[in-house]
Amino acid sequence: MGFFERLLKIDRRIIFTLIGIAIALPLFFNVSMFVETTPVVKGVYEVVESLPEGSKVLVSFDYDPGSMPELQPMAESFFRHCFSRNLKVIIMGLWPQGPLQANWALDVILNEPDIKAKNLRYGVNYVNLGYTAGNEVVILRMGSNIHAAFPADYYGTPLDDLPIMKGIRNFNNIDFVYNLSAGYPGTMEWVQFAADRFHAVLGAGNTAVQAPLMYPYANTGQLVGILGGMKGAAEYEVLADRPARGVRYMFSQGIAHAVVIFFVILGNVAYFATG
Amino acid sequence: MHPSPDIGIWIGGLLTLGIFSFLYGDNPYYKFCEALFVGVSAGHWFITLFWTVFIPKLLGNIGIAIHTFRTEGFAAGMSDYMHWSYIFGGILGFLMILRLFPKIGWISRWSLAFVVGTTAGYYFINYLVSNGLMQIQKTILPLTSVGNIILVVGTFCGLIYFFFSKEHKGAFGGLARVGIWFLMITFGASFGYTVMSRMSLLIGRMDYIFGIWLGMIR
């Protein structure tokens, strides 16, 4: 058996091991890869930059721990950006685990020295409305009355008792909607019901699997911008000038992609060489 | 190296290794982790839906309706009467459970028909506007830049490929072939994103094992 024939019959566990090493090893080195920013990510960043202090931003957490590596860095960098610009953040979830993901991100960001110094208060500067069942129907309900969709927040406090919710009735009173999505219900439903029907200004952060399906919405302006996968998270961190997990992970991502490309080329060479 | 003292982190780490062990080959350790995951997920969903849908939406609203009727009788306002409408949802939900009884299981189709009908109604207009009309509108562009030309030609040729009422021969076949190229490039980009997504998940797990669990990454 020749070299190329043996190569075609290589044990897949060897490839698994090499991919594992390519992913794990770079994590031990604190290397920041150059991350080029793209217009679709800048779209989200620039909308947040353009909002005046005290503007209301609605963030919907529509994912669960399975998508944390991609979406949690996006959530953290978005919260950091909003709080540093003194925006008011209203959190909700169409996925049951979503509000919990939001609390984890808040725990990280609210303990950063510059954000901590702002003395942000729950119910005044930010609120977690929790999860409510109903998928896209919840968005539809919010279009007419947010208080009907969420009578109380995550901790059971009636919305009328929360200062941040004063004067907020529907999407007309929300300056920007940001959706972090890993599937259904997610960005597509937010585009169809919140952006197109109620004219909410909408941006999104998606898992990389889902992102290519959402780019057409950014092209038409239905989305002001979109963060696609870990690369999108890294781009946002670079734009906000606060490199964090997204940028750190991109080194592993780059090495792993190089290994995959190497094996694709090697496999093709071996395939054609053996006729 | 500073391993986490948190027992929950240790359980998470050991279960991650159990799932990874499938890459070497099927084994009892993997089977245990898989069964545990499925069981915990099912239990979690049941409890979540019970406490977020059944109790507050169904029992909560029917409770309000009964209370209002007992205190105000027929003098209650229209919005108070709306709480009774949740009984309709409750009945549809109950009919779904009849699937468990083969002889009368067909009744559950009424609930399914309601769900399919309302969903189709909700989505018909939304898809038409968001995924149809608005996309078409933004594809009608002046051919003044390379980007616009690629978008218009790609969309046009892609649509021609899916036009099966005429044989793909001659100039028509050539345009369809261009359409295939655009489709292949699209699928390639999608596959690239999928690879990135899967790598991201693996990075997350590796960071958990070597960083959060074993404390080897600063």
- Pairing mode, strands A176-181 and A56-62: parallel
Question: At A58, which helix (H) or strand (E)?
Answer: strand A56-62
CB distance A256–B127 less than 8 Å? no
Q: What is the pLDDT of residues B14-61, one digit of tens each?
A: 999 999 999 999 999 999 999 999 999 999 999 988 998 899 889 999
Mutate to test the interface with A, among B199, B201, B202 (most CBs of A within 10 A): B199
Fold of A33-242: Rossmann fold (3.40.50)
Q: What is the pLDDT of residue A57?
A: 98
Of A62, A90, A73, A226, residue with least CA distance to A153: A90
Q: What mean pLDDT do residues A32-42 have?
A: 92
Radius of gyration of chain A (CA): 21
- A54/chain B closest Cα distance in angstroms: 31
Residue-averaged pLDDT of chain B: 92
Rounded to an integer, the average pLDDT of A17-41 is 92
Question: What b/e readout covers B134-154, taking b as 16+ CB neighbours within 10 angstroms?
Answer: bbeeebeeeeeeeeeeebeeb
| Closest by Cα among A194, A195, A189, A184 to A220 | A195
Is A212 within 8 Å of chain B by CB?
yes
Choose among B23, B135, B203: nearest Cβ to A69.
Answer: B203
What is d(CA A223, CA B154) in angstroms, rounded to the nearest whole number?
A: 22
Only one residue has tokens 């959706």, namely A179
Q: B194 and A249: CB-CB below 8 Å?
A: no
What is the percent of chain A with per-residue pLDDT over 70, rounded to a whole number? 100
- Say whether pLDDT at B78 is over 80: no
pLDDT band, residue B77 (cuts 50/70/90): confident
- Does residue A56 belong to the interface with chain B, where contact is any CB pair within 8 Å? no
Query: In this predicted structure, what is the pLDDT of residue B156?
Result: 94
Q: Do B52 and A191 touch (CB under 8 A)?
A: no
CB neighbours of A141 closer than 8 A, spacing ≥ 6? Answer: A134, A148, A149
Please answer yes or no on whether B193 and A209 come within 8 Å at the CB atom. Answer: yes
Domain residues of chain A, as ranges?
1-32+248-275, 33-242
By three-state DSSP, how is residue B216 classified? coil
Report the pLDDT averaged over residues B160-184: 94
Which whole number is the average pLDDT over A41-63?
97
Question: Which residues are bridge partners to A24 per DSSP?
Answer: none
What does the buried/exposed string (b/e) look like for B8-18 if buried means 16 or more CB atoms within 10 Å of the residue's CB? Answer: ebeebbebbeb
Average pLDDT over chain A, rounded to an integer = 95
Query: Residue A62 pairs with which residues in a beta bridge?
Result: A181
ipTM: 0.91
Cα dihedral sign for A201, A207, A209, A212? positive
Distance, CA of A233 to CA of A252 (rounded, Å): 14
Nearest to A13 among B24, B48, B218 (CB): B24
Is the pLDDT higher at B129 or at A275?
B129
- Asked whether the predicted pLDDT for residue A4 surpasses 90, the reply is no
> What is the separation of C-alpha B165 from the centre of its chain, rounded to a whole number of angstroms?
34
């009424």: which residue's tokens? B110
Reply yes or no: is the peptide bond before residue A73 cis, omega within 30 of 0: no
Q: What is the pLDDT of residue A33?
A: 84
Residue numbers in A near B138 (CB within 8 A): 219-221
Range list of H helices, B21-77: 28-49, 60-72
pLDDT at B108 > cutoff 90: yes
Nearest-Cα distance to chain B for A13, in Å, is 6
Residue A88 in tokens: 């008011």
What average pLDDT does this structure show over A101-121?
96
Chain B residues closer than 8 Å to A253 by CB: 196, 199-200, 203
Work out the pLDDT band at B143, boundaries 50, 70, 90.
very high
pTM to 2 decimal places: 0.91
Residue identified by tokens 């028909």 is B113
Q: Which helix (H) or strand (E) holds B217?
A: none
- Given a contact cutoff of 8 angstroms between Cβ atoms, the answer to whether A69 and A244 are in contact is no
- Per domain, the residue ranges of chain B are 1-100, 142-218
Any long-range contacts for A121-126 (C-beta under 8 Å, 24+ apart)? A123/A153, A123/A157, A123/A161, A123/A162, A123/A163, A123/A164, A124/A88, A124/A163, A124/A164, A125/A83, A125/A88, A125/A89, A125/A164, A126/A83, A126/A88, A126/A89, A126/A90, A126/A91, A126/A164
Average pLDDT over residues B190-208: 95
Q: Is a pLDDT exceeding 90 seen at residue A39? A: yes
Mutate to test the interface with B, among A207, A214, A215 (most CBs of B within 10 A): A207
Query: Can you tell me the mean pLDDT for A243-249?
Result: 92
Q: pLDDT digit string (tens) for A163-208?
A: 999 999 999 999 999 999 999 999 999 999 999 999 999 999 999 9
Is the pLDDT reported for residue B145 higher than 80? yes
Q: Residues of A with CB below 8 A from B53's CB?
A: 133
3-state helix, strand, coil in chain A (%, to 5): 55, 15, 30
What residues of A are in contact with residue B193 (Cβ under 8 Å)?
208-209, 211-212, 228-229
- Residue B170 burial (10 A CB sphere; 0-12, 13-18, 19+): exposed
For B208, name the nearest residue in chain A, comparing CA atoms only. Answer: A69
Would the CB atoms of B202 and A256 count as touching at under 8 Å?
A: yes
CA dist B91 and B86 (Å) reads 9
Alpha helices in A25-157 (DSSP H): 39-50, 68-84, 98-110, 113-116, 136-144, 146-149
